[in-house]
Structure formats: C-alpha cells, structure tokens
C-alpha cells in the first residue's frame, strides 16, 4: 500500500506539488489524469527518488515505511518501479548486462541469492516472449536505436523481471501505435495481482480501455482535485479539463 500525505515539492524555487494526498491500496490500479503541467511526472519522479526535487513537506509511505529518506536504488529494492515516459538510451551497456545487474542488485539488497545465468536467461526469455520482444533486441545496448514502442516494451519487460510491488507507469501510452499499446497493456494486465498496485499516469482515456483502473484521480496544480471510479475517465474525455483549470485559477 502506498500513502502520500500532504506532499509539497518544489524544483528551483518553483512549487510543483501543493499538499498532495493519495492512497493506493494493495492490488489497486489507480489512474492519474490531468492537464499538462499539473505535476504528474514530478509526482512519479519524487516517488522514485530523483534528486532534482526538493521535498518541503509530507511523507510517502510504502507499506508504512517512509521512502523519502531512501536512495532510488533502495526504493527499487523495496518494490517501487517507475516505467519512464522517455526511457533513456545507455550506449555501451548491453541490455542483458543491465537487466542482470538490476535484478541481482535488488536480490542482494533484499538478502537473496544472486540468480544463476541459466535461471536469469530463462526468466528474461519468458518475459520477452510475452511482450513480443525479439532476442536480438536484448543483445543491443540498452534502448539504443530502439523505436518508441520498443523502449516502452523494454520498460514493461523490466517490470515483469523485477516483480515490483508498486508500479508507476508514466505516460506509457505516449508514442505507442495501436498494436504496441495492446502488447504493453497485456503485459501490464498480466502483472496485476492482489499484492501489486499500479499508478497509471496518462493524458488519455484510451489507455484505460486496455488497463482498466479501479480508481481515477484528477490532478491539477499539484493536488488531487477529484477522485472517482473508472467512469470519471470517460467524463474527462467528454468534457476536458476545463472545470479543473478553473479550480486551479480560483
């Protein structure tokens, strides 16, 4: 379970999050929608632990443990996973080397044994097959020369391999064609389980047809301004964010 309490965050003296409160229960898929600049990506980065942000107030509790004091790698080992909106290209680092380093670092942090190479390869292959990722893609440097869709599939592959308990999908639908959207969504849906929760950040209702949320939250000016069920997404699609922008101005 993730609880965010009164989170206030700024970057370079600019206030981005203004006392944000949000709870995502185990097994829940929560969608966050909101206009550009409302602070959605900031929220995802702050949960994952990016340094550039200054947290002025509030807490982020993962199963009761405040993660704000933890380094990004410790948060990952504790179960937080951020699927990046723009996955980065890392020339010279082979995808397999990276996957193995990540998986074993997390296992080590949790006091588990490192995986043997055959066991590791078996797990990667299983995840890759499901996400229709060709093997030669895994032989290349991480994300280098990957298309937008390939990069997003690679993010979901990492998620499948690392088995986090709290997953953030930051505009995972951006840059995806219809087929890629289906593959990625199926990959995510396959990971849904009672002890894993998701925070799905998106601009569009379209993604939520594929990954059906339990709750939908509207974010504006650094706060959650409305929460509801999946029907709220349809309402937003029809009416836009105009109502919420007004509340921002008020």
Partner 1 sequence: MADVTLMKTPAETALAQAYESAKTTLPGNVESRAEAFELFTRNGLPHRRVEEFKYTDLRALLREAAPFAGMPSADDAKAALQAAKALKGTQALEVPFVNGHFVRDAVDFHNLPEGIEIVPLAEALANGHDWLAKLSPVEWARQNPVYQLNTTFMADGVMLRVVGKVETPVHLRFVTSANSAVATATRILVLVEDEAAVTLIESHESPNGANHQPNDVLEMIAGDRSNVRHIRLNAEGDKALALSTLNAKVGAEAEFFSFNLVTGAATSRHQVFAILDGENTKARINGATMIKGGQHADSTLVVEHAAPHCESRELFKTVIDGESTGVFQGKIIVPHHAQKTDGRMMSAAILLSEGGAMNNKPELEIFADDVQCAHGATCGQLDEDLLFYLMARGIPRKEAESLMVQAFLGEAIEFVEDQDLHDALVAVVEDWLRARA
Question: Would strands 80-83 and 166-170 be described as parallel, antiparallel, or unpaired?
Answer: parallel
Phi (first) and psi of residue 34, to 5 degrees: 170, 160
Q: How far apart are CA 227 and CA 216, in angstroms?
A: 6
Does 84 interact with partner 1 (rule: CB under 8 A)?
A: yes
* Least Cβ distance, residue 174 to partner 1 (angstroms): 17
Q: Which stretch binds partner 1 (CB under 8 A): 72-80, 118-126, 171-179, 216-224?
A: 72-80
Does 48 interact with partner 1 (rule: CB under 8 A)?
A: yes
Q: How far apart are CA 103 and CA 24, in angstroms?
A: 25
* Least Cβ distance, residue 78 to partner 1 (angstroms): 9
Give the largest Cα separation in the chain, rounded: 59
Judged by CB, which is closer to partner 1: 34, or 164? 164
Q: How many CA atoms lie within 13 A of 45 on its CB side?
A: 18
Length of the chain: 250
Judged by CB, which is closer to partner 1: 70, or 225? 70
* Least Cβ distance, residue 172 to partner 1 (angstroms): 15
Q: How far apart are CA 57 and CA 199, in angstroms?
A: 21
* Least Cβ distance, residue 243 to partner 1 (angstroms): 34
The site map against partner 1 for 99-118 (x = CB under 8 A) is --xxx-xx--x---------
Tokens coding 50: 């990016």
The site map against partner 1 for 135-174 (x = CB under 8 A) is ------x----------------x---x------------
Partners of 228 in beta bridges: 216
Does 24 interact with partner 1 (rule: CB under 8 A)?
A: no
The separation between CA 73 and the C-alpha centre of its own chain, rounded to angstroms, equals 15
Q: How far apart are CA 13 and CA 18, in angstroms?
A: 13
* Least Cβ distance, residue 48 to partner 1 (angstroms): 5
Write out the residues near partner 1 by the rule CB under 8 A: 48-51, 71-73, 75-77, 81-82, 84, 87-88, 90-93, 97-98, 101-103, 105-106, 109, 141, 158, 162
């Amino acid at each position: 379970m993730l609880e965010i309490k009164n989170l206030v965050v700024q970057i370079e003296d600019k206030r981005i999050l203004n006392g944000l409160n949000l709870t995502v229960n185990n097994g829940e898929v929560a969608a966050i929608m909101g206009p550009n600049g409302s602070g959605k990506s900031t929220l995802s980065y702050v949960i994952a632990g990016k340094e550039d942000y200054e947290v002025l107030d509030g807490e982020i509790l993962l199963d009761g443990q405040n993660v704000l004091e933890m380094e990004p790698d410790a948060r990952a080992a504790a179960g937080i996973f951020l699927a990046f909106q723009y996955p980065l290209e890392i020339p010279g680092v082979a995808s397999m080397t990276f996957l193995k380093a990540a998986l074993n670092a997390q296992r080590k942090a949790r006091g588990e044994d490192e995986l043997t190479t055959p066991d590791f390869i078996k797990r990667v292959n299983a995840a890759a097959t499901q996400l229709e990722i060709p093997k030669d893609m895994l032989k290349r440097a991480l994300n280098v020369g990957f298309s937008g869709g390939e990069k997003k599939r690679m993010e979901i592959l990492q998620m499948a391999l690392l088995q986090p308990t709290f997953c953030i999908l930051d505009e995972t639908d951006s840059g995806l064609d219809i087929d890629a959207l289906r593959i990625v969504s199926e990959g995510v849906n396959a990971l849904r389980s009672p002890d894993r929760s998701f925070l799905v950040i998106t601009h569009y209702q379209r993604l939520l047809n594929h990954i059906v949320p339990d709750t939908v939250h509207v974010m504006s000016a650094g706060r959650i301004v409305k929460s509801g069920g999946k029907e709220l997404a349809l309402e937003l699609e029809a009416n836009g964010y105009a109502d919420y922008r007004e509340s921002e101005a008020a």
